């Protein structure tokens, strides 16, 4: 028997990234769930020693489930540029350094693309990836992955998002995630579909698999 979540189940979000947490709250509210975050519960931030998004999502979720005795959901995500062999990938947060300077992290991506002579759109393909891990106190873990493809644009545009949003233009759109409000970034449309952002796509899979009813 796999565990199921209901609107009454207390759920912990094992993240300390406020931009991410804002989106996760909206996504979970869409599915009728409210949460406590690792920041509110003053949980420690485990070191992300994994070599995959799955491993890092798992270690964050399991640490929070063990610390609280509650089901915990972690999101490990990143910006992967094809022409840079998938970098910054799982190192996306680390490229911003201790000051979380994403303007600098984006410049770093652009400089590396310039070194490769990547001036044409087809040399600038990239994606955002999000892997969710839901960890239960009984040891069960479930994983859900969402991806969205797009182009790495320069200069960055928009200040509505966080992280690498200003340099990511999703396929089929003429504005960046940084220029979208969160509802546009989630890609919610009346009638519902698979969503737009890596995160909203992963949450759709999570909701389909883990919510009661």
Ligand X SMILES: O=P(O)(O)OP(=O)(O)OP(=O)(O)OC[C@H]1O[C@@H](n2cnc3c(O)ncnc32)[C@H](O)[C@@H]1O
**Ligand-binding site membership of 20 (annotated):** yes
How many residues bind ligand X, per CB under 6 A? 24
Q: What is the DSSP letter of 194?
A: S
Tell me how far apart the alpha carbons of residues 109 and 161 are, in angstroms, rounded to a whole number. 18
Task: Give the shortest CB-69-to-Mg ion separation in angstroms.
Answer: 23
CA-derived radius of gyration, the chain: 17
Out of 27, 35, 43, 77, the residue judged to bind ligand X by CB under 6 A: 77
User: Is residue 162 at the binding interface for ligand X, with CB under 6 A as the rule?
Assistant: yes
138 or 182, CB closer to ligand X?
182
For β-strands 11-13 and 35-37, DSSP reports them as parallel
Phi, psi of 148, rounded to the nearest 5 degrees: -140, 130
**Ligand-binding site membership of 163 (annotated):** yes
Q: Among candidates 71, 94, 92, which has minimal Cα distance to 12? A: 71
Q: Which residues are annotated as a binding site?
A: 15-20, 47, 76-77, 162-165, 185, 198-199
Q: Which residues bind ligand X (CB under 6 A)?
A: 15-17, 20, 45, 48, 60, 75-79, 92-93, 102, 128, 161-165, 177, 197, 199
């Amino acid at each position: 028997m796999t565990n199921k979540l209901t609107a009454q189940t207390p759920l912990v979000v094992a993240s300390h990234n406020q931009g991410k947490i804002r989106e996760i709250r909206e996504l979970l509210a869409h599915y009728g769930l409210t949460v406590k975050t690792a920041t509110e519960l003053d949980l420690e931030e485990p070191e992300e020693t994994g070599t995959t998004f799955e491993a890092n999502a798992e270690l964050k979720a399991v640490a929070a489930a063990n610390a609280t005795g509650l089901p915990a959901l972690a999101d490990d995500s990143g910006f992967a540029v094809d022409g840079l062999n998938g970098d910054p990938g799982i190192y996306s947060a680390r490229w911003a350094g201790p000051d979380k300077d994403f303007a600098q992290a984006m410049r770093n991506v652009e400089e590396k693309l310039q070194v490769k002579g990547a001036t044409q759109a087809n040399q600038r393909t990239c994606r955002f990836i999000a892997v969710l891990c839901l960890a239960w106190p009984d040891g069960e873990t479930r994983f859900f992955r969402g991806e969205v493809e797009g182009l790495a644009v320069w200069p960055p545009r928009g200040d509505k998002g966080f992280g690498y949003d200003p340099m990511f233009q999703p396929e089929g759109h003429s504005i960046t995630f940084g220029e979208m409000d969160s509802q546009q970034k989630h890609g919610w449309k009346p009638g519902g579909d698979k969503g737009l952002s890596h995160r909203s796509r992963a949450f759709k899979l999570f909701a389909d698999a883990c919510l009661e009813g």
